[in-house]
Structure 1
Amino acid sequence: MNTDFLGTGWGFPPTFDNATNKVAMSSDEADIQLSLQILLSTRKGERVMLPDYGCNLNEMLFEPMNTTFKSYISEMIRTAILYYEARIDLNSLLIDDSQDAEGIIIINISYTVRTTNSRFNFVYPFYKREGTELN
Structure 2
Amino acid sequence: AARSFPPGIMADLEGLSAEALRAAIQNERVALEQAKADSAAARDEREGAGQRQRLRRELEALRSRTGAWRSGTRLLQRVRESIDRDEHGPHFYGVDSEKTFEANVFEPRKPRQPVGGRVGSTTKYAESPY
Could you say which structure has the higher helix fraction?
Answer: 2
Q: TM-score range by the shorter chain?
A: under 0.3
| Higher Cα radius of gyration | 2
Instruction: Output the TM-score relative to the length of structure 1.
Output: 0.25
Say which structure, 1 or 2, has more relative contact order (CA 8 Å, 6+ apart).
Answer: 1
Instruction: Output the TM-score relative to the length of structure 2.
Output: 0.26
